[in-house]
Structure 1
Amino acid sequence: MARVAIVGTGPTGIYTFFNLIQTDPSHHITLFERGEKAGIGLPYSPEAASKSMLANIASIEIPPIEATYLDWLKGQPDAKLRAYGLDRAELDDRQFTPRLLLGEYFRDQLLSLLDRHRARTEVLETTEVTDVIARNDALFLRAAEREFGPFDRVILATGHVFPDADEATRSYFPSPWSGLIQAEVPPVSVGIMGTSLSSIDAAMAVANQHGRFRRHGEELTFEPATEGLHLTLMSWSGVLPEADFWCPIPYEPLQVMTDDAVAQCAAQADPLDRVFALLQEEIAQADPAYADRIGLATLTADTFGDAYFAAREAQDPFRWARRNLEEVEHNKAHQITVPWRYALLRMHEKVETLVPHLGDADRKRFDGGLKKVFVDNYAAVPSESIRRLLALRDAGLLSVLALGEDYELKREPDRTVIHAKGKTHVFPVFIDARGQKPMESRDMPFPSLRRALMGSKQDIPELDADFALVGVPDYDRHAHLAAIPYLMHDRPFVQGITASAEIGATIARGISQAVGDRAAQGGRRSSAPVVATG
């Protein structure tokens, strides 16, 4: 057996726990959660979400734990479903539900797992780990004045990292999760940096303080209860996300961009251009009309993004959103797949495996081009989110601002001022909703581990295939880094619940393989329990 600590009990921690006990129930596992309730995860918690905020994933895509998300929903009381705006008769596996419900699902799954495996598992809530210490060929965790250990493996599943609420002011929120949900925002001009689902969530958090959405059949409207509120979503291009589209799940195999084909690209001198050639051929086979329409055969990895966004950037964003919503809803009703969209959706994970093999110049090209296309495609938002944006627009309360790349932003004590394209925009309240940024070794919150990483000259933590740290004395193969911000350098699309499930399964396989190898070599694994001292 192995003595394992999991730091963080959001989806990544839960899927890791689930897979560990599936592969080998003899492990002794201790889970650490700094919050009051384990199993919820920041994006799905009452501190970071409200009932109006939708999860961007449906049951059909969520890897089941003890039960599927849909089965769990069907087991909830009618009153609870109604409180979240859900009707039991309309529940289905492609439905987008409030994020808070998803948090409750994960907590229930964790508690069920703990109950079934209570002999060898425990969870410590309101226990914030502040350091990871290597000693005597094992790891120990520091929390407050106590030390826990020894552990053979420590899995850092600490999730996203956003500024704390105490960094927010009455006029500035460094993220939508920095106290915005609890804040009282006055009815003024509110600027929101970003146009993704996080930005839409921020807009909904503010709008719901100053009015309410009303549904009349298929029509959604917004009725203001105050005067003076105006919301502005902004980004370089001013393009809104598109609505989530219907496609077959599980994904059908790609015809051209196979694993072997991408691996061959990685072995060549010009991997980015070679993988783009695969993309061209894949789309041309799947949707020749679209390929002809954008002149795909004449494009490069550097110009494809411009052609992809050209039509949307040329139109009013709300007019485009309305047409896109109509198209998506028609396609869902008739189960129609748009081939080029589906091809891009299936290709982004293939292309991600190439990213670690890109040189600095190609990585810069990728980030400025293909990456934006793939993110736009897979980060399509629930149709209801688009309906809400359109309702706010129709009420005269929402606009979109295209900043361009040369804008200037200045934070002042009581306002934020932006200069863009020769105009000045003043926002008494400003919310930065651009999402998670990649983090480096110097950002590691555990001082002993941070010193070891920096001492090993690892500006970005080096990880094995099972996310174990390598090349870090005393931590090598003992610590697994499953925290999303530290994985984004080499895995730019490592977001969401499916990624959490994949990470958890990979770590569990790695640990079980290592334990098995040690046992086969006659190694001795102590069965001493985890203890707290101090």
Structure 2
Amino acid sequence: MTQRIAIVGTGPTGIYTLQQLLQSPAPLSVTLFEKADKAGIGMPYSPETVSKSMLANIASIEIPPVTTSYLDWLEDQPTGKLASYGLDAEDLHDRQFTPRLLLGEYFRDQLLTLTTSAGQAGHQIDICERTEVLDILPTEDRLLLHTSQGEAGPFDRVILATGHEFPDEDEASRTYFPSPWSGLIEAEIPATSVGIMGTSLSAIDAAMAVAGQHGRFRRKDGELSFHPSGTGLQITLMSRSGVLPEADFYCPLPYEPLAVMTEAAVAACAKQPEPLDALFDLVRAEIMQADPAYAMRIGLGGLDADSFADAYFAAREAADPFRWARSNLEEVERNKADKVTVPWRYALLRMHERVEEIVADLPEHDRERLDKGLKKVFVDNYAAVPSESIRRLLALRDAGILSVLALGEDYDLTREQSRTVIETARDTHVFHVFIDARGQKPLSSKDMPFPTLRSALLDAGEEIPEVAEDYSLIGARGFAGRVFLGSIPYLMHDRPFVQGITACADIAEAIASGVATRRRRRLVS
């Protein structure tokens, strides 16, 4: 009997899941549901939510191929099309950061190619665009979907690949945007005081969306500058520390193995009386072995899991953020040209995924300590942004438009109808437009948009959906083993670093393996 599978969401997670499912030698019937007009793009890469100025924070070499690699696909595109995105066909390379819109086109094209080849291999693939899944209803042995276009199913398995979830545009106004994805791209922002909460790539995207309405970037003799079309625009990026992200750095790919923080060593930490402290011992030893000079410079030998973050950020917090950014950019570009890897940066980059393996097993007090310390270090390291994003920030700064505000640990934010007021220990700041760009927040069972599934999770006492290694739900009655949860916001509580396209591909592989295994067990029984 042909297995019937539904995939809800057709961004990268949905596409990679389809790719992995199609490895099955047995014919499959797969229906993909996409609430947007076009399947295969994904919210972070859609024309409705991003502009051409917004760069994807991943290079071609890091993107798992679907039917072809991203670089090969780029090289097959017309020269004029590439030029419209600011790319030169002669300069394409596998460590390049490209506009998000272009990456969205790649994924849509890959989905359509997958669908065609799947049909030729005997699978049945249906794509339902402009179809929002409203609820999931369990029957005795199948699942039905209630959609905006009517009932669909029955299905043997339902895979949730709904991706990031941000506040609806209905919550936005002319003076307040709850996220950069809540109508900002289509809004007309006046030349006024604009406050952006956050300093990461999402905040940089928001700044570019606003600045693009009031001037343009120009490059001359290799130097980038911003030329405003008028006066009055003042953009402020803000966070508790006021630290800007650093530029993406050169390192060997795929990752080289870690010397100290092995999988077995991390697993052993969970059995220790103080697992986080045991884990930090591995972090410290790995960095000391990789980069003794850096370890000595920050006094790593005398640090612990609670003090490491302060030492890590100390020099940046004491420096002017734009001077630091300029110096860091020069260092990064020099290292890229010479293919030089900074050992301590590379060690941290490789360690964060290994650390994540133990997070779900940490006691609550250790989890709180992790969030306040080590987590900040790892996020800062792996969330380094494209060099071009730093160049743009510096160009806006040089044009007198951009500033950075360190709020400190104690501040008050008040939203009013026509402005947002922030009071810190020292000053009061007034913004006539305010954008919250702090990125995706972890979601819980009560946030689940499917009422019947939400009730089942809450009835089972699951504040956070529990999933098996194959991402199938565990405790929700009627859904356990049938519904696979690949929606990243619901996984972030136990996997705080689960972000990006590579994570989507890893999740998809585990889900497809789980679907295949469960089908074999069913056939045997």
TM-score, with structure 2 as normaliser:
0.98
Where does 1:78-97 land on structure 2 (aligned, <5 Å)? 78-97=79-98
Task: Tell whether the 8 Å contact from 2:131 to 2:149 is kept in structure 1 after alignment.
Answer: no
CA offsets, 1:324-361, max 9 Å, x none? 00000000000000000000000000000110011111
Distance 2:26 2:231 in 1: 59
Which residue number corresponds to residue 480 of structure 2?
476
2:419–2:431 Cα contact (<8 Å) kept: yes
Structure with higher RCO (Cα < 8 A, 6+ apart): 1
Look up the match of 1:104: 105
Return the alpha-carbon distance in structure 1 between the equivalents of residues 289 and 136 of structure 2.
51
Report the more deviating stretch, 469-478 or 294-303: 469-478
Query: Deviation at 1:518?
Result: 2.0
The residue type paired with residue 83 of structure 1 is S
Alignment-derived partner of residue 531 in structure 1: none
Q: Which amino acid aligns with 1:209?
A: Q
Q: Which residue of 1 aligns with 2:451?
A: 447
Q: Deviations over 1:160-200 (max 9, x none)?
A: 11011121100000000000000000000100000000000
Q: 1:410 aligns with which of 392, 410, 414?
A: 414
Task: Give yes or no for the alignment of 1:277 onto 2:277.
Answer: no
The structural deviation recorded for 1:79 is 0.4
> Which residue, 211, 217, 225 being the options, matches 1:213?
217
Match of 1:161 among 147, 162, 165: 165
Secondary structure class of the residue paired with 1:227: coil
1:93-134 deviations in whole A, cap 9, x for unaligned?
000000000000000000001111234111100000000000
1:19 is aligned to: 20
Provide the aligned length of Structure 1 versus Structure 2.
Answer: 521
CA-CA distance at 1:383 after TM superposition: 0.2
SS at match of 2:455: helix
Q: Counterparts in 2 of 1:242-281, with a 5 A limit?
A: 242-281=246-285
The match for 1:530 is none
Alignment match, 1:235: 239
Deviation for aligned residue 1:23: 3.4
Preserved CA contact (<8 Å) 1:231 1:397: yes
Aligned sequence identity (%): 66
Distance of 2:471 and 2:512 partners within structure 1: 10
Q: CA RMSD in A?
A: 0.8
C-alpha distance in structure 2 between counterparts of 1:362 and 1:408, whole Å: 28
Q: Residue in 2 aligned with 1:144?
A: 148
Instruction: Tell me which residue corresponds to 1:71.
Output: 72
C-alpha contact (below 8 Å) 1:74/1:88 kept by paired residues: yes
Contact 1:30–1:124 (CA under 8 A) maintained in structure 2: yes
Contact 2:71 2:93 in 1 (8 A): yes
Q: Give matches, 1:426-505, under 5 Å.
A: 426-505=430-509
In structure 1, how many angstroms separate the alpha carbons of the residues matched to 2:455 and 2:521?
A: 30
**1:145 positional shift:** 5.3
Cα–Cα, structure 1 residues 294 and 160, in superposed 2: closer, same or farther, change >3 Å? Answer: same
Find the aligned partners of 2:222 and 2:328 in 1 and give their Cα distance.
16
CA contact (8 A) 1:192 1:199 kept: yes
Q: Secondary structure at the match of 1:480?
A: strand
- Aligned to 2:167, what secondary structure does the other structure show? coil
- CA shift, 1:28, in A, is 1.1
Per-residue deviation, 1:136: 1.8
Please give the alpha-carbon distance, in whole angstroms, between the structure 2 residues aligned to 1:46 and 1:164: 16
Structure 1 Cα separation of the partners of residues 51 and 284 of structure 2: 42
Q: Is the 8 A contact 1:23 1:509 kept in 2?
A: no
Residue of 339, 345, 348 corresponding to 2:349: 345
User: 5+ residue gaps in structure 2?
Assistant: none
Could you tell me how far 1:239 is from its partner in structure 2? 0.1
What does the per-residue CA deviation read over 1:386-426, in whole Å, with 9 as the maximum and x for residues that have no partner? 00000000000000000001010000000000001220000
- Are 1:395 and 2:399 counterparts? yes
> Which aligned segments of 4 or more residues in structure 1 are displaced greater than 3 angstroms?
none
Q: Give the Cα–Cα distance (whole angstroms) in 1 for the partners of residues 212 and 352 of structure 2.
A: 35
Alpha-carbon deviations, 1:79-101, whole Å to 9, x = none?
00000000011000000000000
SS in 1 for 2:39: coil
In structure 1, how many angstroms separate the alpha carbons of the residues matched to 2:272 and 2:109?
Answer: 48
The answer as to whether partners of 2:49 and 2:181 remain within 8 angstroms in 1 is yes
2:305 and 2:370 in contact (8 A); partners too: yes
Cα offset for 1:268? 1.7
* Superposed displacement of residue 24, structure 1: 4.1
Q: Paired residue for 2:138?
A: 134
Maintained 8 Å contact 1:23/1:508? no
CA contact (8 A) 1:24 1:512 kept: no
